[in-house]
Amino acid sequence: MAINWFKYSSPASFYVLAGRMIPWFSIAAIVLCAIGLYIGFFVAPTDFQQGEAYRIIFVHVPAAWMSMFLYVVMAMWSGIGLAFNTRLSSMVATAIAPTGAMFTFLALWTGALWGKPMWGAWWVWDARLTSELILLFLYIGFMSLQAAIDDPRRADKAGAMIALVGVINVPIIYFSVKWWNTLHQGATVSLTQSPKMATTMLTGMLIMSLACWAYAIAVVLMRTRAIILERERHTAWVGALPEVAR
Amino acid sequence: MKPRHRKLAVIASGVTALGVASILVLNAFQSNLVFFFSPSQVAANEAPVGRSFRIGGLVEEGSIRRMADGVTVNFVVTDTAKAIPVAYTGILPDLFKEGKGVVAQGKLTANGLFLADEVLAKHDENYMPPEAASALEQAEKARKTVMMQ
């Protein structure tokens, strides 16, 4: 059975679809987070050099991965919105930004908490940390630029420019530990090499990553629905919604 | 100018601006975000002279000496090719150990001693339980013994 995907590029039908998907992703997020944190705190062994403090990895790495991944997804939807003038794409991009910024902040914050006991410093201006901070500024720039322009269609276009230009930063963050001498260590998990960590630790980290994915999808869908309602408030279909009709 | 040409010009200038911006950023990173210099780079005079910079490498095995005052530590930073003696007064991070990574910020004196005012530990990207680490260490020792025979 072929699914007509274009049907869901219309805000009206996407609104209903998103509403049906949100509970599933919310439940998945909660369950995966519980399993991941349990493995992280109780099952995974102590690390040979960092002791118990390494356990912050179960939040830090998934948050850092999501911060980069969400930026790419945001830029992609911005680009599609810009190129094809599809309303929904830009709305999704706008909905992703706060969650991406939250994960970026979380990665920086947990990194600081980890850096102090291990490295001996909350913050250093090395390439990895600095480029991740630039990512946070890009998210904030995207959101404030969109908030500063009243016409949503013009706001979408302006935001898309920031999002697309800023994409260059994502590979810089990812490869910074390879290209320059950094205090931040190299990648433990990568596509080209076998992971340099014990299997239980890796399992916990990957489950936490899935939890972050599910959370991000659920929250972005919720926010997209809110944006759809706001922007389409003058249309007949929004007026006919049972939750809107007065 | 036709509207289509204008659009093309806008896109072309946008792409050019993006390219120039990323080249400038990468260039700035290259010159300013060299977080530390290795002892070999210092020996090759690549490190800045007369101002503070960071050196990074491994703490040489058996090189840590605590001074009589109890807070001053002398050690040697090596990249296995060259080595630099370092003096530091202050609290060391927990991960500061012989044979492990270290980054020290400070100034190089005329007699080649590096006076550090900050010492950071640089750990690697490996995570494993202590038993696995000691098993690896045993295996490494066994391998070395076999090679020596």
We report the CATH number of the domain holding residue B102 as 2.40.50.140
Which of B96, B133, B36, B147 has its CA nearest to residue A124? B36
Say what the pLDDT of residue A66 is.
96
Provide the shortest C-alpha distance from residue A72 to chain B (in Å).
Answer: 17
Provide the shortest C-alpha distance from residue B54 to chain A (in Å).
Answer: 11
In a domain, B62, yes or no: yes
In a domain, A10, yes or no: no
Mean of pLDDT values over B112-131: 87
Mean of pLDDT values over A70-89: 94
B19 and B55 part of one domain: no
In a domain, B130, yes or no: no
pLDDT digits (tens, 9 = 90+) for B57-80: 999 988 888 888 878 999 999 988
B76 and B103 part of one domain: yes
Give the best residue of A49, A50, A129, A200 to mutate against chain B (max B CB count within 10 A): A49
Mean of pLDDT values over A198-213: 94
Provide the shortest C-alpha distance from residue A29 to chain B (in Å).
Answer: 26
Q: For residue A60, what is the domain's CATH number?
A: 1.20.120
Q: Looking at this predicted complex, what is its ipTM? A: 0.75
SS (H, E, C) A177-190: HHHCCCCCCCCCCC
A-chain residues near B35 (CB < 8 A): 124-127, 180-183
In a domain, B141, yes or no: no
Q: For chain A, what percent of residues have pLDDT higher than 90? A: 64
In a domain, A105, yes or no: yes
Strands B101-108 and B114-122, sheet pairing: antiparallel
How many domains are there within chain B? 2
B105 and B43 part of one domain: yes
> Quick check: A119 and B122 CB within 8 A?
yes
Inter-axis angle of helices A152-166 and A87-118, nearest 10: 40
In a domain, A243, yes or no: no
Alpha helices, H only, A44-118? 57-84, 87-118
B110 and B55 part of one domain: yes
> Quick check: B36 and A181 CB within 8 A?
yes
Say what the pLDDT of residue B148 is.
65
Indicate whether B32 pLDDT > 70.
no
Q: Which range of residues forms the domain containing residue A87?
A: 21-234
B17 and B52 part of one domain: no
In a domain, B96, yes or no: yes
In a domain, B128, yes or no: no
Alpha carbon A187 to its chain centroid, in Å, reads 19
How far is B132 from B27, CA to CA, in rounded Å?
42
Say what the pLDDT of residue A205 is.
94
Asked if residue A98 lies in contact with residue A222, where contact means CB atoms within 8 angstroms, the answer is: no
Say what the pLDDT of residue A2 is.
65
Cα angle, residue B117 at apex, residues B85 and A121 outer, rounded to 5°: 115
Say what the pLDDT of residue A4 is.
74
In a domain, B78, yes or no: yes
| A240 class by beta-carbon count within 10 Å (0-12 exposed, 13-18 middle, 19+ buried) | exposed
Residue B80 gets the label, from left (phi > 0), alpha (psi -120 to 50) or beta, of: left
Backbone angles phi, psi at B100, to 5 degrees: -110, 165
First to last CA, chain B: 82
In a domain, B103, yes or no: yes
Backbone angles phi, psi at B104, to 5 degrees: -120, 135
Cα angle, residue B136 at apex, residues B130 and B141 outer, rounded to 5°: 125
Indicate whether B19 pLDDT > 90.
no
> Quick check: A165 and B21 CB within 8 A?
yes
Residue of chain B with shortest Cα separation from A47: B129
Nearest to B18 among A49, A130, A168 (CB): A168
Q: Which residues pair with B84 in a beta bridge?
A: B77
> Quick check: A120 and B125 CB within 8 A?
no
Q: Which range of residues forms the domain containing residue B29?
A: 1-33
B20 and B79 part of one domain: no
Alpha helices, H only, chain B? 3-32, 39-43, 130-148
Say what the pLDDT of residue B43 is.
86
Chain-wide mean pLDDT for chain B? 83
B75 and B8 part of one domain: no
Indicate whether A60 pLDDT > 60.
yes
In a domain, A216, yes or no: yes
Asked if residue A105 lies in contact with residue B110, where contact means CB atoms within 8 angstroms, the answer is: no
Indicate whether B110 pLDDT > 90.
no
Say what the pLDDT of residue B29 is.
67
Provide the shortest C-alpha distance from residue B133 to chain A (in Å).
Answer: 6
Backbone angles phi, psi at A195, to 5 degrees: -60, 140
How far is B15 from B11, CA to CA, in rounded Å?
6
For A28, A33, A52, A119, A218, the CA distances from A214, given in Å and listed in that order, are 6, 9, 27, 32, 6
